[in-house]
């Protein structure tokens, strides 16, 4: 599309595109509301926390962010991090852990703002895709393990992840058949609903049918053996759900571990989601990732101060936003506004939603993160990608999220060394950029181009004039990993969408699989 066809921004964009953005914002609100409630509860926060986050993410962050079609709000990917902070800082006191975690969110938000201000969003490229996918798959497995108990209507004894998993057989023996019916009906709807040609989001049907069955079974009058209710507990007055952070543990190592986890995972997920949404944008607009990270940090600062969860640019809701025809960031604004209006006018309806329906939504989300398809997609790129993927999962499950990601990166670096990359080349790339007489740019890679060293290449390409021809010359390359191949592929799509041309030459390199973006190594003959 040409530049003149781009939707306007600001108030002019609202006037021009409200007919698209208002309906899309409403449909995204229908998806977001139950997910906000479920993510809050799974994170060890009150259900109102996710609603607070969605409102701030939509109404505020949409106005100051650097993206066009992303939806900001709580995400399943942060459940594990936030829950670990609540349990670790609270030491058995859920409310105290919640308030300590709010303080960690506030401090983490300052880190995010500083990262955006100093333009450190580019550092998200340092994390190999398979490590990130492994982290998300591990999060999906943890979500499924913890929410299975909720689907069964049983409250497990507090403990480690392995302890929670080990209690599943006991929960099966003590399950509430009514909540099981509601939750498994919800799962069936989520699986089959895409086959039905309708714009009504599946989560809405799951929640509405869950409310109907909960009323029929009288679940509002029942409790679990541990005394917990089966329905969402939220104050009649939404403002009564505001809690404030407690900074009294700011000097403890556990507090700073929570800060690091929230800022790292939240920033990484948000940046990757925003970049992914740009690829889906029909207008191929490029987000200002540093500005967007700063805006998310500001949103998290306010959210943490009044009791909300941390937010990110959320990929599933953003994809739905695009599918529903959104044109500008005003769709995000209206999504937040509709959430605000709903809790202001119909908060009582939230109290009728069964926890089993929300658990079904989260288990389905967890499955999508850790499905066999996810494993197959990674293996298709290369065996070494599957190794990093699995090692990251094991590290997250056995230790914690940060340890798992670090372990995955270490394995990736070790693989590069075993393939003959010089240690000095791990973090320093060598390449030349030269312009020929006809104006063509030749980018020649020398040695190895890896996830850990390609940022200078990325910056150099960003400075090239638009509308030219760029040739990537791999003839003197030794090892080009999947991360760099994927980057060049995405760069080519964006550059050609803006009127330029890209091509690759002299690929005397062996690939590690049949995948188009698999890592490439200098041939055995050339290595002699």
| Average confidence (pLDDT) over 238-252 | 92
pLDDT by residue (tens digit) across 399-410? 889 999 999 999
- pLDDT-derived band at 197, boundaries 50, 70, 90: confident
- 49: exposed, middle or buried (Cβ count in 10 Å: 0-12, 13-18, 19+): buried
Contact 328, 68 (CB under 8 A): yes
> How many other β-carbons are positioned within 10 Å of the β-carbon of residue 378?
22
Please give the pLDDT value at position 5: 79
Please give the pLDDT value at position 510: 87
pLDDT of 1 above 50? no
Task: Tell me the average pLDDT of the chain.
Answer: 93
356/152 Cα distance (integer angstroms): 8
| Average confidence (pLDDT) over 460-481 | 94
Tokens representing 468 are 């030219």
Which CATH number, 3.50.50.60, 3.30.750.24, 3.30.70.20, 1.10.1060.10, labels domain 423-527? 3.30.750.24
- pLDDT-derived band at 250, boundaries 50, 70, 90: very high
Better-predicted residue by pLDDT, 155 or 387? 387
- pLDDT-derived band at 145, boundaries 50, 70, 90: very high
- pLDDT-derived band at 2, boundaries 50, 70, 90: very low
Better-predicted residue by pLDDT, 168 or 228? 168
Q: Which pTM value belongs to this model?
A: 0.91
Please give the pLDDT value at position 526: 62
pLDDT by residue (tens digit) across 76-97? 999 999 999 999 999 989 999 9
The pairs formed by 345-352 with CB atoms below 8 angstroms and a separation of 24 or more are 347/234, 347/235, 347/236, 347/237, 347/238, 348/236, 349/211, 350/37, 350/47, 350/232, 350/234, 351/231, 351/232, 351/233, 351/234, 352/211, 352/214, 352/215, 352/220, 352/231, 352/232
pLDDT of 524 above 80? no
Listed in order, the ranges of the chain carrying CATH 3.30.750.24 are 423-527
pLDDT of 497 above 90? no
Contact 339, 33 (CB under 8 A): yes
| Average confidence (pLDDT) over 269-285 | 91
| Average confidence (pLDDT) over 159-184 | 93
58: left (phi over 0), alpha (psi -120 to 50) or beta: alpha
Better-predicted residue by pLDDT, 324 or 239? 324
| Average confidence (pLDDT) over 436-464 | 95
Please give the pLDDT value at position 227: 54
């Amino acid at each position: 599309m040409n530049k003149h066809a781009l939707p306007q921004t600001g108030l002019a964009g609202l006037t021009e595109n409200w007919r698209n953005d208002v309906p899309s914002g409403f449909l995204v609100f229908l998806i977001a509301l139950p997910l906000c409630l479920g993510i809050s509860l799974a994170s060890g926060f009150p259900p109102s926390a996710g609603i607070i986050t969605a409102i701030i993410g939509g109404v505020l962050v949409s106005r100051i962010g650097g993206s066009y079609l992303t939806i900001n709000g709580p995400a399943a990917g942060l459940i594990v991090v936030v829950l670990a902070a609540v349990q670790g800082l609270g030491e058995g006191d859920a409310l105290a852990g919640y308030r300590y975690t709010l303080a960690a969110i506030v401090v983490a938000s300052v880190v995010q703002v500083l990262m955006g201000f100093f333009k450190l969003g580019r550092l998200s490229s340092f994390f190999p895709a398979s490590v990130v996918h492994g982290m998300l798959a591990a999060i999906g497995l943890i979500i499924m393990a913890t929410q299975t108990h909720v689907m069964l209507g049983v409250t497990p004894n507090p403990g480690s992840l392995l302890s929670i998993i080990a209690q599943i057989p006991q929960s099966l023996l003590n399950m509430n058949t009514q909540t099981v019916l509601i939750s498994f009906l919800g799962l069936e709807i989520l699986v089959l609903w895409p086959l039905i040609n309708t714009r009504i989001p599946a989560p809405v049907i799951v929640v509405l049918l869950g409310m109907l069955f909960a009323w029929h079974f009288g679940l509002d009058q029942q409790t679990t053996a541990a005394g917990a209710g089966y329905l969402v507990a939220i104050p009649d007055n939404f403002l009564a759900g505001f809690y404030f952070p407690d900074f009294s543990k700011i000097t403890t190592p556990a507090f700073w571990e929570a800060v690091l986890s929230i800022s790292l995972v939240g920033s990484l997920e948000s940046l990757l989601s925003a970049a992914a949404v740009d690829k889906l944008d029909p207008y191929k607009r490029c987000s200002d990732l540093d500005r967007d990270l700063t805006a998310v940090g500001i949103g998290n600062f306010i959210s943490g101060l009044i009791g909300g969860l941390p937010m990110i640019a959320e990929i599933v809701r953003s994809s739905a936003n695009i599918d529903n025809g959104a044109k500008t960031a005003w769709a995000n604004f209206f999504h937040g506004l509709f959430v605000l209006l709903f809790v202001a006018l119909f908060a009582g309806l939230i109290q009728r939603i069964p926890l089993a329906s929300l658990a079904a939504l989260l288990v389905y989300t967890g499955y999508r993160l850790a499905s066999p398809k996810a494993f197959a997609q990674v293996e298709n790129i290369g065996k070494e990608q599957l190794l990093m993927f699995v090692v990251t999962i094991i590290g997250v499950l056995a230790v914690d999220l940060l340890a798992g990601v670090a372990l995955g990166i270490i394995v990736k670096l070790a693989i590069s060394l075993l393939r003959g990359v010089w240690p000095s080349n791990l973090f320093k790339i060598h390449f030349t950029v030269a312009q020929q007489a006809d104006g063509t740019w030749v980018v020649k890679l020398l040695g190895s181009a890896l996830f850990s060293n390609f940022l200078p290449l990325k910056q150099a390409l960003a400075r090239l004039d638009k509308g030219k021809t760029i040739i990537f010359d791999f003839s003197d390359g030794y090892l080009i990993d999947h991360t760099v191949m994927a980057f060049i592929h995405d760069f080519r799509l964006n550059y050609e969408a803006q009127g330029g041309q890209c091509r690759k030459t002299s690929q005397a390199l062996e690939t590690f699989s049949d995948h188009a973006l698999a890592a490439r190594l200098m041939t055995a003959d050339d290595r002699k």
